[in-house]
Amino acid sequence: MQLIAHYTVADYAAFRTAFDADAEDRGHAGLSLLQLWHEDDRNAWALFQVTDPKAARAYLSGGAAPFNAQAGVTGTDFHFVKTA
């Protein structure tokens, strides 16, 4: 299973610094980064491999709040997907 994430951010540079620092917490939640893209200074997209969907959902629904605050995340959209 994979996760496609869209982040709306206040500043991409600040987001990227916090995003990189959050890698260990995401890993504990069963999320491994496969690719990160930024569309512009306000929009970033990430593709994650999901090894523990329950832990990943718990992290995204509450555990990621400190990261979101530190990274200047103003909106998120997450889609769990499987290869067809």
pLDDT in tens, 27-36: 999 999 999 9
Fold of the 2-81 domain: Alpha-Beta Plaits (3.30.70)
Q: Where are the domains of the chain?
A: 2-81
CB 71 within 8 A of CB 9: yes
- 38: closest CA among 1, 5, 82, 62? 5
CA 49 to chain centre: 11
pLDDT confidence of 17, banded at 50, 70, 90? very high
pLDDT in tens, 47-73: 999 999 999 999 999 999 999 999 999
CB 68 within 8 A of CB 50: no
